[in-house]
Amino acid sequence: MKYVLVTGGVVSGLGKGVTASSIGLLLKECGLRITAIKIDPYLNTDAGTMSPFEHGEVFVLDDGGEVDLDLGNYERFLDIKLTSDNNITTGKIFQHVINKERKGDYLGKTVQVVPHITDAIQEWIERVAMIPVDGREGPADVCVIELGGTIGATIFSRHNESSILDAGDIESMPFIEAMSQFSHRVGSGNFYLVHVSLVPVLNVVGEQEQKAHEALIKTLNLQGIVKEPLLEEWSVHARICDALHDPVRIAIVGKYTGLSDSYISVLEALLHASTACKKKLVVDWVPSSDLEDNTTLEALELHKAAWKQLKGANAVLVPGGFGDRGVEGKILAAKYARENHVPFLGICLGMQIAVVEFARSVMNLQDANSTEFDPHTTNPCIIFMPEGSKTHKGGTMRVGSRRTYFDVTDSKSAKLYGNPNFVDERHRHRYEINPDKVAEFEKAGLEFVGKDETRRRMEIVELPNHPYFVGVQFHPEFKSRPGKPSPLFLGLVEAACGKLDCLPVNAAHLSNSPKRAMSPANAYENGNPKKPAKSFSHRKIFPNANGVHA
């Protein structure tokens, strides 16, 4: 087993995750099998209870692991399925060591950071590196390890003449010491370091300041390994993206729009779908609270701007979230999309607010709500799941891969998936559609086309007489891949372009290749083929690691 460690210095947010993913991809295209591990030095056991504003999106794995968003990058780049153990945190390591101490595994010895914590880190890495993640038997050839946070004047050596000098984040110190030991443990020819560093240009002298960089930098030597990478498919994919000019505009209405990393998997899934549809993605971030009526009193211009963005979009997407801030704005967005036949996709909470809106506006249940936001509502459309915990937040949600069965085979969702009997998608929620009200909802016109194995838990809802109005309890964005877009995101983008009716029954299967031949399609304002979309040529489109947005 070969190990590649990716570290970062000076400042955080330099792109270690994308660097680690790219290195993994290059090695994979050379015929090597790759696995990946992300080390997060924070004391939390996992990312499940962390605010998206604090740490970006919480990515969900098949086994229910709530992990750092970088594991989403690894899965998308490398097309692998990781486990929760592929995300190491200080909390997990400390908990593991303390559990062993309570059992008496250390035989009365004083438990210390060195050697007990550092040994536990190394043993964890060696164990997880052996777990197959690509659907084949046997371990990978290379394990790419990303160390989160920043390190200071740290120098690794494969020749034993240097060691750790300093750490940037104090939480990183045990991991840095462990990795220094690990480099000797696995042997000089099996450990490589890539350091991502900032090289600023100082205005005073007009030159790059490289002293900190020079004190830290080590490079990965790929000579003799990567000769001519077989990256043709990715090259084709990149050329297609660069050549796209016909825009499709999607409004993302959410609570965390101030930090695009909060919705990074949603952005990536939209990019996958828009590229497959030969469209240039333009995302308008709409803070849901700005759509609410009370904003007219506090910030009238923000209110007007939010509604202008929403009404100018070809489609509306309401992603998942928690808490009551901005919920009424999301409900207004769902109402706008429903009444104006604008393509709509609601994910998790986005599905729930769509049902609440329908109950209020169509069924005339004025106080319809979720018990998450109004515990005393007389019309609880969304309820707390009976198996959930009301005393503990972390690790108590319904998470991970769960099966959804299609009860309506001619629904848009079933057709987009290729008309299977069921699909497996990743979940993360503690509230659900009230099963006792499903009959009322369906009598009024909603159609629950996908349910769990008990047929009591609603998974997919559609509005039949609408171009595309779909809500899902799961998170389809987590399994979308470049060249293999999520079927529901593909359906949203196709509907936004007025082309959904052109999709064959097994559209999801046909969209699996970035080389898929597709007929040219024009972008239409609000999905209306009679009303051409406005030109966006005057707007700047920014492609970056967080997606594409205006």
DSSP string, 397-408: SEEEEEEEEES-
> Would you tell me the crossing angle of helices 327-339 and 300-311 to the nearest 10 degrees?
40
C-alpha distance from residue 548 to each of 264, 280, 303, 532, 540 (Å): 11, 9, 24, 22, 10
3-state secondary structure 112-168: CHHHHHHHHHHHHHHHHHCCCCCCCCCCCCEEEEEECCCECCCCCCCCCCCCCCCCC
Handedness of CA 107, 109, 114, 115 (dihedral sign): negative
116 contacts: CB under 8 Å, gap ≥ 6: 97, 106
Exactly one of 30, 277, 348, 497 is catalytic; which is it?
348
The DSSP secondary-structure symbol of 46 reads S
Active site residue 357: no
Angle, alpha carbons 280-268-476 (nearest 5°): 120
Catalytic site residue 475? yes
Angstrom distances, CA of residue 471 to CA of 10, 320, 422, 490: 43, 11, 16, 14
Q: Which among 55, 303, 429, 475 is annotated as catalytic?
A: 475
Q: Token pair of 46, please? A: 């996992």
Q: Which of 238, 247, 240, 241 is nearest to 537 (CA)?
A: 247
Q: Does residue 26 contact residue 214 with C-beta atoms inside 8 Å?
A: no
C-alpha to C-alpha distance for 4 and 370, rounded to whole angstroms:
47
348 catalytic? Reply is: yes
Question: Using CA atoms, how far apart are residues 357 and 112, in angstroms rounded to an integer?
Answer: 56
Please give the C-alpha separations between residue 196 and each of 15, 319, 384, 483, in angstroms, as whole numbers. 8, 32, 44, 28
Residue carrying the six token digits 């290749």: 513
CB 458, CB 432: distance < 8 Å: yes
Query: Do residues 250 and 284 make contact, with C-beta atoms less than 8 angstroms apart?
Result: yes
- Of the listed 66, 146, 477, 494, which one is catalytic? 477
Q: Which two tokens stand for residue 348?
A: 């998790």
Instruction: Reduce the DSSP state of residue 101 to 3 states and report it.
Output: helix
Select from 178, 167, 170, 147 the least CA-distant residue to 68: 147
With CA atoms as reference, report the closest residue to 144 among 54, 80, 198, 51. 80
Query: What angle (nearest 5°) sits at the alpha carbon of residue 354, between those of residues 350 and 359?
Result: 150
Whole-angstrom distance, CA of residue 268 vs CA of residue 37: 21
Question: What residues are labeled active site?
Answer: 348, 475, 477
